[in-house]
C-alpha cells in the first residue's frame, strides 16, 4: 500500500517582526523594556521614548538608516531591498511598485487602498469647519470624525500589522508578510498597457522600455512623488492608516510607478513618458501582402507557395507611444 504524502513547499522565511517570546510579548531592541502584547505599542514606545537616539541615528551621515521605520541597515543595497519589500510591498528586485498605489494630493503619502486614501483626505485635509461625515474604509459605515477614532479602534485599523491592501489585522509583521502573499501582484505597465501574471515576464517587459540616455530637460518634478528630505523631531510612526511618505531618495513615477533611486535616474525615466518613442523595426512581408512575425515564417511561406511569392524589400515602421497626461492614480479632491 502506498501512503500518499504531502510535501510542503518550504516558504521563504519571514522574520520582520520585533523580538518577541513564545507568549507573544514584544521587546524593545533599544532598551531593556519589554512585555508589550502588540508590536504597535512597542513601536509607539520606540519612537516616543527613544526620540533623541533615533534622531541622532537619522542625522548621522555615516549610518545607513531606513527613514520610514528608523532602523539601521548594513548597506545601501540591503536598505533598498528592505524599502521595496517592507514598505512598497513589492519584490526586492522590483523596477516598478508591484501594487496599485493611490497618492494623496495634499501630503503625497502613498496608500495601497483607495478607500483608506479617501478617508485620510476627509480626516486630515478637509477644513474642520465643514460638516464632515466620513466613510469607514473597512465597513463603509458613515461616521462623524469624533466617532471615527473609536470606530477605527474597533477594526484595529491603527495597527502596525494592518494589511495596507485589504485592511485585515494580522498578528504581527511576520504574519502580515505571509498574508501579503495572498494578494496578487499588480504587473501592469502604464506606458503600453501590457499586463501579465508572471514576475519574470513583467521584468523583461519593463527592461524593453529602458532606452533613454538623455535626461528630460523640462520640469520633471511633477512626474514623481515628492521625496521628504527634512527630518522632523516628531516622527511619523509607519502605520498603514497614515499612508507612506517617501524618504531615502526613493523616487516613484506617478505615471507608471517606476522606482528610481536618485533624482537623475528619475529625470532619465521621465524621458520615456515625454519623448515620443520612435522604434525602427524590420517587417517581414511577402509581396502578396501577408506579414509574418519573423523571417523564418516568411521564408517558409515563400518556399511553400513559390511562384509569384517572394520577400518584399526591407521595410521599416515607426511606433509612437503617446504620452499619457495623467493617470487614475491620484484621486482628485
Nearer to Zn ion, 244 or 253 (CB): 253
Residues 258 and 220: beta-carbon distance below 8 Å = no
Cβ of residue 61: shortest distance to Zn ion, in angstroms? 18
Nearer to Zn ion, 135 or 290 (CB): 135
Instruction: Calculate the CA 61 to chain-centre distance.
Output: 27
Cβ of residue 27: shortest distance to Zn ion, in angstroms? 8
Instruction: For residue 29, count other CB atoms closer than 10 A to its CB.
Output: 12
Cβ of residue 25: shortest distance to Zn ion, in angstroms? 14
Nearer to Zn ion, 182 or 318 (CB): 182
Residues 79 and 87: beta-carbon distance below 8 Å = no
Residue with the three cell numbers 551621515: 61
Handedness of CA 139, 144, 149, 153 (dihedral sign): negative
What count of Cα atoms within 13 Å lies in the side-chain half-sphere of residue 174? Answer: 13
* Interface positions with Zn ion (CB under 5 A): 28, 30-31, 33, 66, 68-69, 104, 106-107, 136, 138-139, 141, 163, 165-166, 168, 189, 191-192, 194, 253, 255-256, 258
Residue with the three cell numbers 506579414: 291
Nearer to Zn ion, 176 or 286 (CB): 176
Dist. CA 63–CA 56, nearest whole Å: 10
Cβ of residue 105: shortest distance to Zn ion, in angstroms? 7
Nearer to Zn ion, 32 or 313 (CB): 32
Residues 231 and 58: beta-carbon distance below 8 Å = yes
Cβ of residue 292: shortest distance to Zn ion, in angstroms? 24
3-state SS, residue 51: helix
Cβ of residue 315: shortest distance to Zn ion, in angstroms? 24
Nearer to Zn ion, 88 or 286 (CB): 88
Amino acid at each position: 500500500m502506498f501512503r500518499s504524502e504531502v510535501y510542503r513547499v518550504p516558504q521563504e522565511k519571514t522574520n520582520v517582526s520585533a523580538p518577541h517570546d513564545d507568549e507573544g510579548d514584544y521587546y524593545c531592541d533599544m532598551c531593556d523594556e519589554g512585555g508589550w502584547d502588540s508590536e504597535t505599542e512597542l513601536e509607539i514606545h520606540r519612537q516616543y521614548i527613544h526620540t533623541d537616539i533615533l534622531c541622532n541615528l537619522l542625522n548621522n551621515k555615516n549610518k545607513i538608516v531606513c527613514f520610514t521605520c528608523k532602523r539601521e541597515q548594513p548597506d545601501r543595497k540591503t536598505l533598498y531591498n528592505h524599502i521595496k519589500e517592507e514598505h512598497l510591498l513589492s519584490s526586492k528586485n522590483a523596477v516598478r511598485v508591484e501594487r496599485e498605489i493611490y497618492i494623496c494630493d495634499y501630503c503625497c503619502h502613498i496608500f495601497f487602498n483607495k478607500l483608506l486614501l479617501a478617508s485620510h483626505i476627509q480626516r486630515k485635509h478637509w477644513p474642520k469647519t465643514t460638516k464632515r461625515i466620513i466613510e469607514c474604509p473597512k465597513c463603509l459605515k458613515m461616521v462623524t470624525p469624533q466617532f471615527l477614532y473609536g470606530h477605527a479602534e474597533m477594526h484595529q485599523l491603527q495597527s502596525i500589522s494592518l494589511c495596507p491592501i485589504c485592511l485585515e489585522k494580522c498578528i504581527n509583521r511576520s504574519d502580515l508578510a505571509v498574508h501579503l502573499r495572498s494578494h496578487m501582484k499588480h504587473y501592469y505597465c502604464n506606458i503600453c498597457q501590457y499586463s501579465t501574471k508572471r514576475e519574470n515576464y513583467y521584468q523583461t517587459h519593463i527592461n524593453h522600455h529602458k532606452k533613454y540616455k538623455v535626461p528630460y530637460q523640462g520640469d520633471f518634478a511633477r512626474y514623481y512623488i515628492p521625496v521628504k528630505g527634512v527630518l522632523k523631531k516628531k516622527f511619523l510612526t509607519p502605520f498603514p492608516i497614515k499612508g507612506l511618505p517617501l524618504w531615502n531618495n526613493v523616487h516613484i513615477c506617478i505615471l507608471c510607478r517606476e522606482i528610481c533611486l536618485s533624482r537623475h535616474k528619475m529625470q532619465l525615466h521621465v524621458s520615456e513618458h515625454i519623448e515620443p518613442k520612435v522604434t525602427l523595426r524590420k517587417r517581414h512581408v511577402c509581396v502578396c501582402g501577408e506579414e509574418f512575425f519573423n523571417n523564418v515564417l516568411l521564408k517558409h511561406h515563400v518556399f511553400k507557395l513559390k511562384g509569384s511569392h517572394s520577400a518584399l524589400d526591407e521595410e521599416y515602421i515607426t511606433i509612437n507611444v503617446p504620452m499619457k497626461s495623467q493617470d487614475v492614480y491620484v484621486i482628485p479632491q
